[in-house]
Amino acid sequence: MFILTLYRILLFLSLLIVISSTSDDLYVVPYRFFVGINCNGSLTHPYSSLQQALDHIEYRTNLTYRTTIHLYPTYHFVNNTLHLTQAHSHIQISTMNDVDVKFYEKFISQEYLHERLTTAVISGGVKINNWTRINGNTYSAHVPTLNYVNQLFINNQRIPRTRIPTNYSEYLYYAAPLNDPLEGRYGFQYAPGQFNYTSLADAMVIVYHSWTESHHYIDRVIPSNNTIFFTNPSKYPIGQFPPEGKKRFHIENLCEGLIASSFCFVNESKTIYLMTNGSYDPRNVNNIITPVNEIVVLLAGDEWSRPIENVIVNNVAIEHGAWTIDRTEEADGSEAVFLRFAAFVVANASSIIISNVEISHTGAYGLWINAGTEKIDFLNSLITDTGAGGLWIGRDLAPMPKAANSLKIISNEISYGGNVFPSAVGLVDSTSFDVIIINNVIHHHRYNGMSIGSTLGYGPTGTKNILVQENYIYNTCQHILCDQG
C-alpha cells in the first residue's frame, strides 16, 4: 500500500512540470483520484469535468488540428448548459475506449466503479438521493435547491406525474365553454366536483383541442358557478373545435392522485412524493434523476461571423433535458412550437457531425438544428423518450443570415415522443433547403411522424430542395389528437 501511494504521489508531482496544453487528447473522469501514464507512455491530465476540458481548449489560439475529449463512460452532470462556441472549433467529444477505461479504473475508488456505463452520458439533471419512507410504497424527498420538479427518471425509466383521471386512456370532460371569446382562452365551466381537491396551487390542467393541447396553471376556481380561470391562455378559445376536442382535459401534479409508479411535487415545501410499484426502494437506488437544464448541450458561435466549425460529437448520450412553462406563457401551438429549447441545440454552426449519439429522457424536443447552420450531419443515432418531438430543423426565432441548409439526416431512430407535449412531431423541418432525410425510422409519437415545410396557409414556406426517401414511419397519432397523417 505504501509503495502504491508513493507511486501515485510521484506521478502527481511529475504532472506539475508537464505542460499539457499541447496535447491532442484530453481525458475527463468525474472522480477524485491521482493521475497516471496512458498506454503510449505520456503523462495525461484527467479533468474532473467536461467544462474544465472545454475551458482548457478556450486558451488555444488559431489551432486547426483536432483535439479529442475522451469521456469516462459514466454520468457527466453539467451544472449549466454546456455551451461550445467558436473557440471550441476543431474538437471531438467521444466516450473513451476500453484501454483508457481500464487504465483510469486503476485510480478510481472502488465505490465509484458501479457507476460505469457502456457510454458516457452528458446529463442536464441532478440526482435525488435523500428519500424517506412515509408508509407502504410511498416516499418523499426534500429538494430545497430546486425551482421545480416536473420530470423524474429512475434507472432510465420515466416516472409519470400524477394524473386525474388515473387511467391514462380516460379523460375528464368540462361542462361548457365560456361565452366571452377572451375569457374563453383562460377557462371553462367545469362539471361539479371536478376540482374538489385540497390544494390546486401546483396543479396543471391540460386541455385537448383539435391538433393541439394547451397547458394551464390555475388562477382561481369559482364554485358558485363551477367556473375555472387560468393564469395563461390557450391559442384559441377553449371549445372552438367541439367535434375534435370533445371537451376533454386532465389534471396533472395533484398529490391526491398519487398511484403506483407516479410522483408529484409540492412547491411550497420543495418536496417530491413518489409511490413505487413495490419492486424497489428509492433509498437503495443510485440513479434517480430530475432534469434542471432546458438545454443540455449548445453548439453555437457567439456571432454570425464567427460560427463554431468542424466539431464531431460521437458515441455519447445526452440526457435529462428539462421543460418549463411560465405561469403567463401561452403553451399551445401546432407541433408544440411554443417550446424554445431542446436538449441538444445546434445554432450558428458549420461542418458538424453528430453520429452514434443517443438523446433521451427530455422534456422538449431532442435535437434542434436552428436556422443559420450549414453542413450538419446527423447519422446513425437515437432520439427517444422525449417530452415533445425528436428533431426540429429551422425556425427563425431571430433575424438569421440564411436558413438551415446542406443537412444530412440519415439512418436514425426517433421514437417514443410526446410524453409531455403530445402535439409535437417526430421530425419537423420548418425552414431549410438542400436537406437529405433518408433511411430513418420514426415511431410511437402521439401526433404526426414527420412534417416538412408546413404552414397555416398557402404562401411560400422557404423550405426547398428536400429529399425524403426510404423512411419508415409507424405507430403515430395514437387517437389523442386530430388532423394527423
How confident is the model over 310-328, as a mean pLDDT? 97
Q: CATH number for the domain including 397?
A: 2.160.20
Whether residues 294 and 440 share a domain: the answer is: yes
Whether 245 maps to a domain, the answer reads yes
Task: Please check the confidence at residue 408 and state whether its pLDDT lies above 90.
Answer: yes
CB 343 within 8 A of CB 295: yes
Whether residues 72 and 34 share a domain: the answer is: yes
Whether residues 331 and 349 share a domain: the answer is: yes
Element (H, E) at 244: helix 242-245
Averaged confidence pLDDT in the chain: 90
| Residue positions counted in the chain | 485
Please give the grid coordinates belonging to residue 203: 396543479
Whether residues 336 and 447 share a domain: the answer is: yes
Whether residues 181 and 103 share a domain: the answer is: no
Mean pLDDT lowest among 1-15, 126-140, 204-218: 1-15
CB 22 within 8 A of CB 41: no
What residues does 138 pair with on adjacent strands?
A: 135, 275
Between vectors from CA 309 to CA 305 and to CA 315, what angle results, nearest 5°? 150
Q: What pLDDT, on the 0 to 100 scale, is given for residue 478?
A: 83
Task: Please check the confidence at residue 258 and state whether its pLDDT lies above 50.
Answer: yes
Whether residues 309 and 406 share a domain: the answer is: yes
Element (H, E) at 3: helix 2-15
Whether 114 maps to a domain, the answer reads yes
- The rounded distance, in Å, linking the Cα atoms of 45 and 43 is 7
Helix (DSSP H) and strand (DSSP E) numbers for the chain: 4, 41
| Half-sphere exposure in the Cβ direction for 440 (13 Å, CA) | 26
Q: Give the end of a domain, one of 211, 230, 255.
A: 255
How confident is the model over 251-257, as a mean pLDDT? 97
pTM value? 0.92
CB 171 within 8 A of CB 250: yes
Whether 9 maps to a domain, the answer reads no
In this predicted model, which residue has the larger pLDDT, 402 or 222? 222
Residue entry with cell 377572451: 182
Element (H, E) at 392: strand 391-393
Q: What pLDDT, on the 0 to 100 scale, is given for residue 422?
A: 97
Whether 12 maps to a domain, the answer reads no
Closest CA to 360 of 78, 114, 124: 124
Whether residues 246 and 274 share a domain: the answer is: no
Domain containing 451 equals 19-124+290-474
CB 357 within 8 A of CB 381: yes
Whether residues 310 and 382 share a domain: the answer is: yes
Whether 384 maps to a domain, the answer reads yes
Whether 10 maps to a domain, the answer reads no
Other CB atoms within 10 A of residue 288 CB: 22
Whether residues 135 and 267 share a domain: the answer is: yes
- Residue 326 to residues 204, 232, 233, 331, 343, Cα–Cα distance (Å): 12, 8, 11, 9, 18
- Grade residue 250 by pLDDT with cuts at 50, 70 and 90: very high
Mean pLDDT lowest among 273-277, 327-331, 450-454: 450-454
- Grade residue 40 by pLDDT with cuts at 50, 70 and 90: low
Task: Please check the confidence at residue 122 and state whether its pLDDT lies above 50.
Answer: yes
Q: What pLDDT, on the 0 to 100 scale, is given for residue 399?
A: 60
Task: Please check the confidence at residue 217 and state whether its pLDDT lies above 90.
Answer: yes
Q: Give the end of a domain, one of 211, 234, 255.
A: 255
CB 282 within 8 A of CB 274: yes
Tell me which amino acid residue 446 is: R
- Grade residue 17 by pLDDT with cuts at 50, 70 and 90: very low
Q: What pLDDT, on the 0 to 100 scale, is given for residue 78?
A: 96
Q: What is the DSSP string of 409-421?
A: EES-EEES--SS-
Whether residues 118 and 215 share a domain: the answer is: no
- The rounded distance, in Å, linking the Cα atoms of 96 and 98 is 7
Whether residues 217 and 92 share a domain: the answer is: no
| Bond into 165 cis (ω within 30) | yes
Other CB atoms within 10 A of residue 16 CB: 6
Element (H, E) at 5: helix 2-15
Q: What is the per-residue burial (b if ≥16 Cβ within 10 Å, else e) of 128-155?
A: beebeeeeebebbbebeeeebbbbbbbe
Residue entry with cell 367541439: 242
What residues does 71 pair with on adjacent strands?
A: 28, 95
Mean pLDDT lowest among 43-52, 148-157, 298-307: 43-52
Both ends of the chain: CA-CA distance in Å?
67
Closest CA to 25 of 96, 106, 105: 96
How confident is the model over 56-76, as a mean pLDDT? 83
Task: Please check the confidence at residue 140 and state whether its pLDDT lies above 80.
Answer: yes
Whether residues 262 and 373 share a domain: the answer is: no
Alpha carbon 395 to chain centroid distance?
18
Task: Please check the confidence at residue 8 and state whether its pLDDT lies above 80.
Answer: no
Q: What pLDDT, on the 0 to 100 scale, is given for residue 6?
A: 39
Whether 250 maps to a domain, the answer reads yes
Q: What pLDDT, on the 0 to 100 scale, is given for residue 12?
A: 37
Between vectors from CA 466 to CA 460 and to CA 471, what angle results, nearest 5°? 130
Q: What pLDDT, on the 0 to 100 scale, is given for residue 456?
A: 67
- The rounded distance, in Å, linking the Cα atoms of 404 and 348 is 9
Whether 5 maps to a domain, the answer reads no
Task: Please check the confidence at residue 149 and state whether its pLDDT lies above 70.
Answer: yes
Q: What pLDDT, on the 0 to 100 scale, is given for residue 61?
A: 56
**HEC profile for 29-65?**
CCCCCCCCECCCCCECCEECCHHHHHHHHHCCCCCCC
Residue entry with cell 497516471: 36
Task: Please check the confidence at residue 43 and state whether its pLDDT lies above 50.
Answer: no
Q: Give the end of a domain, one of 255, 280, 306.
A: 255
Closest CA to 154 of 286, 266, 317, 258: 286
> What 8-state DSSP symbol labels residue 278?
S
Counted domains in the chain: 3
